[in-house]
Amino acid sequence: MKGIPVLYAEGDCIARAWENSLIELHAHGCDVKTQYDKPDDPPSKDATMCITITDPLKEPMLHRDFPGGPEDLQEYVLEVLEGIKDHLVRNVLDPSDTRWEYTYHQRLFRYSVPKLDSFDQIEIVCKKLAETPFTRRAQAVTWKVWEDNECYDPACLQSVWCRIITEQQEPVLSMNVRFRSNDAYKAAFMNIFALVQLQVRIAQRVSELTGRSVKVGRYFHCADSYHIYGSYFHEFEGRFLGALQKRTFEQRTMRYEDVREIMEEARPSILEKARSMGRERDLDNGH
């Protein structure tokens, strides 16, 4: 193949599919420098990656080698689905505001356009699917061409696309997600897990709107640039690849059901942490 390799990975659950994608990337990705490299950093391992998870709610859902723990994962899910950090997004009209460029929740649930009201794209998607399950137009986007072409840290997630088909007389929701850039080792697992929770939420909402239970179907994740940064390649080889030789798949993973209660119990402390981040910013600015 000429150019950036296009790689494929599949798994019956989130943990297996993510693990398979890293194995494939390490074996067949190309070497590419990045805009974030320090002068002595080795190049990243990079590819365009297509990941299919045939049953995203199947256990084991969690992989022990994603950088973080159950509470970190819960915090990220709440950030994406409930917008607990939307208050940290900068005011684009204030050049001195150095807060975040975006959150995925803000872009998906409160997509703002100059001189227009904001759009809850996920609710729009759900209503489209409830009216016409097989529509090809049920999508949400994040890119803002009037902002993201010039900002320092533009959104990596680009779009979410959904469609419902009938299988064995039951409606099944499939979801496609596209990233322009995706840190395969440090971020992709949490991205996928949180977006599968979004898929669950969309299925539940369409069920409410139609009065008919909608099942969660396959999840497809496409990243234009799926990469492992050279700066932590040594860590990846020692920790992740080393575990493949030393532990079974069961030992490398865990059931979401076994830690779900722990994650839910962490909710109050996570919410307080998010609120305090806003207060600290106000104090830093003398407010």
What share of the chain in percent tops pLDDT 70? 95
Give the pLDDT of residue 125. 98
Tell me the per-residue pLDDT of 20-43, one tens digit each, with 9 for 90 and over. 999 999 999 999 998 888 888 899
CATH superfamily of 6-284: Thymidylate synthase/dCMP hydroxymethylase domain (3.30.572.10)
What average pLDDT does the structure give for the chain?
93
Give the pLDDT of residue 48. 98
Name the residue among 102, 51, 103, 52 with its Cα closest to residue 77.
Answer: 103
Give the pLDDT of residue 278. 72
Model confidence at 52: pLDDT above 50: yes
Model confidence at 247: pLDDT above 70: yes
Name the residue among 179, 230, 224 with its Cα closest to residue 34.
Answer: 230
pLDDT-based confidence at 284, cuts 50/70/90? very low
Model confidence at 221: pLDDT above 60: yes
Q: Which residue has the higher pLDDT, 104 or 96?
A: 104
Give the pLDDT of residue 151. 85
pLDDT-based confidence at 283, cuts 50/70/90? very low
Model confidence at 183: pLDDT above 50: yes
Distances (CA, A) of 46 to 26, 63, 193: 8, 22, 21
Model confidence at 285: pLDDT above 60: no
Q: Report d(CA 188, CA 3) in Å as an integer.
A: 23
pLDDT-based confidence at 93, cuts 50/70/90? low
What share of the chain in percent tops pLDDT 90? 83
pTM equals 0.94
Give the pLDDT of residue 287. 37
Least confident of 13-27, 134-148, 230-244, 272-286: 272-286
Give the pLDDT of residue 153. 86
Give the pLDDT of residue 163. 98
Name the residue among 169, 219, 171 with its Cα closest to residue 197.
Answer: 219
